[in-house]
Amino acid sequence: MGTVRNPILPGCYPDPSICRVGDDFYLVTSTFEYFPGLPVHRSRDLVGWEQIGHALDRPGQLDLAGVRSSHGLFAPTLRHHDGTFWLICTLVGQREGAPGGNFYVTATDPAGPWSDPVWIDEEGIDPSFLFDDDGRVWVHGTRQPPEPRWHDQTEVWVRELDPATGRLVGEEHVIWHGALENAVWAEAPHLYAVDGRYYLLAAEAGTEFHHAESVARADTVTGPYEGYRGNPVLTHRHLGRGADVVGVGHADLVQAADGSWWAVALGMRPYGGYHYNLGRETFLLPVAWEDGWPVFAPGEGRVPAVVDVPFAGEPRPGVTQGATSGLVRPDDVRWTSLRGPAQDFATPDGDGWRLALDPTTLAEPGTPAFLGLRQQHTDVDLRVRLTAPLAEGSGEEAGLVVRQSEDDHVRLHVTAPTAGGRTRDVVAVHRRGGVDHERGRVTLAAGPDEPLVLTISARGQDYALTAATAATAATAGADGDGDGEVVAVVDGRELDTVATGGFVGLWLGVYGTSNGRPTSTSVTVHTVEYLLP
């Protein structure tokens, strides 16, 4: 027997969907405005997970241009049928004239390549597939009804799909409005055929503190559906805001080869008060069936801190749960950019990158020169060694960022040389609600071609931003402890979604911009380290 500690995917991996093919499990999560989109993870035993690719990884598949933070790719569902993987999702907030709404892509290899999107002519979000035993394919999703009876009421619809044409056919059926009257956002529906019945698993109450999961069943896929009198079958809202995990919901079920049942669901881990900087994460729960209904975490009724998996063995080499500490090389699958491919501005260079500055800034919904990693730990250092030969008087900047959105982020950036090229400033700027506020500034005795070391040190909700010349950092010792001057310490409670709105956790990354001016400047990012203290 093996064990796994929750969450199984720490950091911003929300809206998990899972399926099994043979002995392997595959899992996909939402990515919103980040590119490449929809990471695909694989596991042999639900314990060790490895990311094997992305479903959306080339510019021609999807247009994310202009999509603002916390919009973009919402709530994918992953299924496998007859040798093909099917992934259905929603694109939200696309620019006028660009394709948007619900679509699906397919692949014979989950590592890719995946097909171009097939768009589905149906409104709403959170679509899902059911491949029925009779060969029919059913698409279902959630939307607001034409005449809602209460604020934020939604309805779940189901309709048959013709896989040969990609078109919905036949009559549409509305099958669910939520388990409770006045329940808002009945969403994330998944249908399953189990022992001759059809089960509908759906979230409700919104993806925040009151999030809950309910279940209904029917004798036919189109209903009518009977709600379980034990609903909700999964929630943490009764535990209060001081619980270790809150907002649990958006679940998906899978059956293992040994016949056991499991669920993945999202949840948030607050710290430093009711704030969850790591975003919505993926958790694992055992499921049992009693009296024809699923029971989540039987005997416990909540997300367990540690899950026993009877068929799990020792973790395989190269398969890890979450981020590891150390150097993050260019071929690491965790790297993300914004709305477009990193190769437009970044070229791998040894253990780091050659980063071409771009006029686009982090305050714009474009594709700035940005490379980021999810923050996956409450205590972590992101340390970067870079050489930034910025043009004097150009307004160019390069450095690190703690990113929530265009309107809310913290930058630690190098400015162009001053004093005849002998010194340069490193500045900390906190952008709050769309307004920049300088939080600190230090002057380093460094010319344009001298490497610098910039560090973001998160310790709970304190984000310390430090800067040093490479020579100064080297004298601090191999572990880097105590190197550099503290430019500012920022309160992370002003950066999470509780404070700013939206749906994503924090990203830590490197960036460079000419602030709207044409430029030919490049920055050398020698190394990037994600370090656990």
| 344: its two tokens | 């437009």
- Candidates 177, 158, 171, 178; CA nearest to 221 is 158
- Candidates 184, 106, 173, 107; CA nearest to 140 is 173
268 and 277 Cβ atoms separated by less than 8 Å: no
Residue in the block written with tokens 């992370």: 492
* SS3 at position 497: helix
| 128: its two tokens | 């899902």
Residue in the block written with tokens 């503190």: 209
* 43 DSSP assignment: E
Residue 20 belongs to what H/E stretch? strand 17-21
* Alpha carbon distance 475, 511 (integer Å): 26
Q: Hey, how many other C-beta atoms are within 10 angstroms of the C-beta on 190?
A: 22
* Alpha carbon distance 507, 371 (integer Å): 9
125 and 74 Cβ atoms separated by less than 8 Å: yes
Catalytic residue list contains 15? yes
Which of 15, 33, 406, 496 is catalytic? The answer is 15
Which of 33, 45, 155, 187 is catalytic? The answer is 187
- Candidates 308, 310, 453, 300; CA nearest to 382 is 453
117 and 62 Cβ atoms separated by less than 8 Å: yes
* Alpha carbon distance 332, 205 (integer Å): 37
* 27 DSSP assignment: E
* Alpha carbon distance 88, 90 (integer Å): 7
Q: Phi/psi zone of residue 503: left (φ > 0), alpha (ψ -120 to 50 degrees), beta?
A: alpha
**Positions marked catalytic:** 15, 187
